Amino acid sequence: MDIAVWMEKFDQGDVRALSKIITCLENSNGLIPDAVKPIFSRTGNAYRIGITGPPGAGKSTLVDGLCNLYRKKQLSIGVIAVDPTSPFSGGALLGDRVRMTRVGFDAGIYVRSMATRGTLGGLAEAALDAADVLDAFGKDIVILETVGVGQSELDIARAADSTVVVLVPESGDGVQAMKAGLMEIGDLFVLNKADRPLADRAVQEIEAALDLKREHAIWNPPVIPTIASRGEGLDKLIDALDKHRITLQESGALEVKRINRRKERIRQIAERELRRRLWSDPRLRLLDKNVEAEENPFAAAHKLIDDFLKG
Amino acid sequence: MDIAVWMEKFDQGDVRALSKIITCLENSNGLIPDAVKPIFSRTGNAYRIGITGPPGAGKSTLVDGLCNLYRKKQLSIGVIAVDPTSPFSGGALLGDRVRMTRVGFDAGIYVRSMATRGTLGGLAEAALDAADVLDAFGKDIVILETVGVGQSELDIARAADSTVVVLVPESGDGVQAMKAGLMEIGDLFVLNKADRPLADRAVQEIEAALDLKREHAIWNPPVIPTIASRGEGLDKLIDALDKHRITLQESGALEVKRINRRKERIRQIAERELRRRLWSDPRLRLLDKNVEAEENPFAAAHKLIDDFLKG
């Protein structure tokens, strides 16, 4: 079917069309079909929640629990779960399979797993594209869940209205979490698996680490103990998320966040488009072969760019 | 002092000049001074070792131990330790401070901590620049140590001749490590803190996970138990690294790796240069303000690029 036909179905709320369009963007390599572009003018209605934390912290289970609670409030949800690819399995590990058993086939919940790409930054772009699509589709809540503690993964979780950092008692002594850059990006902290030993101490350590930055803020990040596997504490997390959203709205910070996010998107799309034009130029592909012989990589690279900009 | 003077001192083996030039590249934002560029024609002599693994696996201690052993073999070493920045402390956490007490003031060891940058991919570029500088300076071994399990961090560790993945018994059941994308990039695996409970089982699990890809390979990644804090097992790791290097050299794979790395560097420098020219154009900074008002981010971004390419 033509992409324009899918767009019509998308506008009618067809979930297959939603999937189709996300896939189309994932495979577009930056060359977005014109028919799809209007989607990106229709964003800004969904509330975006970023969820991140170290591997094994129970993020997927927590997200499933949040989905169920939001559904009870009649809110529709889109989830983008960023999962590194394994060449062993040829695809994203666990993500979808585990989820299917939990959130089932509720039409109000859409879950999409995304695998890491070869190119640096490619995944962040694909994830943010998909978040915009879910937003334009009319989802009330869009959750961006990223595994890992890397810079690009954190950037994805940070591109949200509220960012939740999930830790577990074993994540260790706070210093490790700070070292991983997690303490800085959290608007809310969850201490999951709070029935495990040393959970109380872990909560205290996270709070102590947070105290260092509490002075200037309009919002003091709370630390919420949960046992996601039993659904315990998730209602408190939802309440805290609501409170954070209201604080952002009332202070005007939400509007500032969204303008900055929009600006960042334009920059990102511009860089992607420029990269695409650079590497899709057949003249440059030929040059690519020649430059390998040149001695200095700067000389080779600058020759490429000069030729490209000369047209 | 003028950068050309520092370059002279660099050629004479002056460590202060080495530091100065790495700093200069870090702050250059892609605008590398011409005087520095010849450095990048003089790479290819150092053997590059990437070391990565989850936070808390003991990578720093392991690297310190490796440095000491390599020094006993009269080899000179440069270490680039990638540490996420904390806004709390205003700089890289732990890295240097911990190290100073261990490797001391041996002139044959140069350790440089690098903090994550705001821009996506910026750190990978800075780390690879620094690796080239250490290589050109004449270091026999260059170690790229990255904390975390993110895509860009893995890319840094992967840009090496041999990549070592450090795990601990608590890293869990292999599935988590696979999920984090660590199993695919390791040429050698270290099970550190091997005196902890379940270490034997962890070694078996890693080996079982590796067995899945062992069929086609010219090299079977070994799993080496270590207790880095006591120096145990590090001699075996050095032996395995030597064996890996010889295998790569004899099979021709080292040459292929280095050509690909060179190609990747040219691409990366070209993209950085193009980005730099795009965002440093004052006309575009003005446009940037205008485009924020436009409705569709694609329209805004493409307008930017079209104007830029028109010159």
Beta carbons of A301 and B267 less than 8 Å apart: yes
> What pLDDT was estimated at residue B19?
93
Report the gap between the CA of A242 and the closest CA in chain B (Å): 27
A179: pLDDT strictly greater than 70: no
Tell me the fold of B42-251: Rossmann fold (3.40.50)
Q: Which of B298, B303, B307, B309 to mutate to test the interface with A (most CBs of A within 10 A)?
A: B298
Q: DSSP 3-state assignment of A33?
A: coil
Specify which of A19-33, A289-303, B76-90, B278-292 reaches the highest per-range mean pLDDT: A19-33
Q: CA-CA distance, B173 to B180, in Å (whole number)?
A: 12
* H-helix or E-strand spanning residue A269: helix A253-280
Beta carbons of A266 and B301 less than 8 Å apart: yes
Number of Cβ within a 10 Å radius of residue B112: 22
Here the ipTM equals 0.76
B161 token code pair: 């001749």
Q: Please tell me which residue, A162 or B288, carries the higher pLDDT value.
A: A162
A70 token code pair: 């939001």
The neighbouring-strand residues paired with A146 are A52, A82
Q: DSSP 3-state assignment of A24?
A: helix
* Single-letter amino acid code for the residue at B161: D
> What pLDDT was estimated at residue A54?
74
Q: CA-CA distance, B65 to B234, in Å (whole number)?
A: 7
* H-helix or E-strand spanning residue B22: helix B15-27
Chain B residues touching residue A96 (CB < 8 angstroms):
none
- Nearest Cα residue in chain B from A146: B150
Report the gap between the CA of A225 and the closest CA in chain B (Å): 22
B54 token code pair: 């989850």
A231: pLDDT strictly greater than 70: yes
The 3-class SS string of B29-89 reads CCCCCHHHHHHHHCCCCCEEEEEEECCCCCHHHHHHHHHHHHHHCCCCEEEEEEECEECCC
The neighbouring-strand residues paired with A91 are A86
B35: pLDDT strictly greater than 80: yes
B242: pLDDT strictly greater than 70: yes
What mean pLDDT comes out for the span A183-196? 90
> What pLDDT was estimated at residue B21?
94
CA distances for B178 relative to A146, A179, A265, B202, B209, angstroms: 15, 22, 31, 13, 8
Q: DSSP 3-state assignment of A298?
A: helix
Lowest mean pLDDT among A64-78, A81-95, A238-252, B43-57: A81-95
Give per-residue pLDDT as tens, A266-279.
888 888 888 888 88
Beta carbons of A267 and B86 less than 8 Å apart: no
Q: Please tell me which residue, B100 or A62, carries the higher pLDDT value.
A: A62
Report the gap between the CA of B250 and the closest CA in chain A (Å): 23
Kindly state the greatest CA–CA separation across chain A: 64
- Quote the crossing angle between the two packed helices B59-72 and B234-251, to the nearest 10°: 70
Q: CA-CA distance, A12 to A8, in Å (whole number)?
A: 7
CA distances for B210 relative to A19, A67, A137, A243, B62, angstroms: 34, 36, 42, 47, 22
* DSSP string of B213-257, one letter each residue: T-TT-SS---EEE-BGGGTBTHHHHHHHHHHHHHHHHHHTHHHHH
Q: Are B114 and B96 in contact (CB under 8 A)?
A: no
Instruction: Please count the helices (runs of H) and the strands (runs of E) in chain B.
Output: 13, 9
Q: Are A226 and A189 in contact (CB under 8 A)?
A: no
Of A274, A292, A311, the CB nearest to B262: A292
Q: How confident is the model at residue A260 (pLDDT cuts 50, 70, 90)?
A: confident
Q: How confident is the model at residue A169 (pLDDT cuts 50, 70, 90)?
A: confident
User: Which residues, 6 or more positions from B302, have their beta carbon under 8 angstroms from its beta carbon?
Assistant: A269, A270, A273
Q: CA-CA distance, A180 to B93, in Å (whole number)?
A: 10
Radius of gyration in angstroms for the set of CA atoms belonging to chain B, rounded to a whole number: 21
Beta carbons of B298 and A151 less than 8 Å apart: no
User: How far from chain centre, in Å, is Cα B114?
Assistant: 10
Beta carbons of A148 and B180 less than 8 Å apart: yes
Q: How confident is the model at residue B198 (pLDDT cuts 50, 70, 90)?
A: confident
Give per-residue pLDDT as tens, B209-235.
887 766 667 898 999 999 999 999 999
* H-helix or E-strand spanning residue B126: helix B122-137
Please state whether A280 falls in left (phi above 0), alpha (psi between -120 and 50) or beta.
alpha
Q: CA-CA distance, A311 to A306, in Å (whole number)?
A: 9
User: How far from chain centre, in Å, is Cα B92?
Assistant: 15
For chain A, give every domain's residue range. 1-41, 43-251, 269-310
CA distances for B266 relative to A295, A302, B204, B295, angstroms: 11, 9, 40, 36
| Check whether domain A43-251 has CATH 3.40.50.300, yes or no | yes
Please state whether A141 falls in left (phi above 0), alpha (psi between -120 and 50) or beta.
beta
Q: Which of B267, B283, B308 to mutate to test the interface with A (most CBs of A within 10 A)?
A: B267
Chain A residues touching residue B306 (CB < 8 angstroms):
none
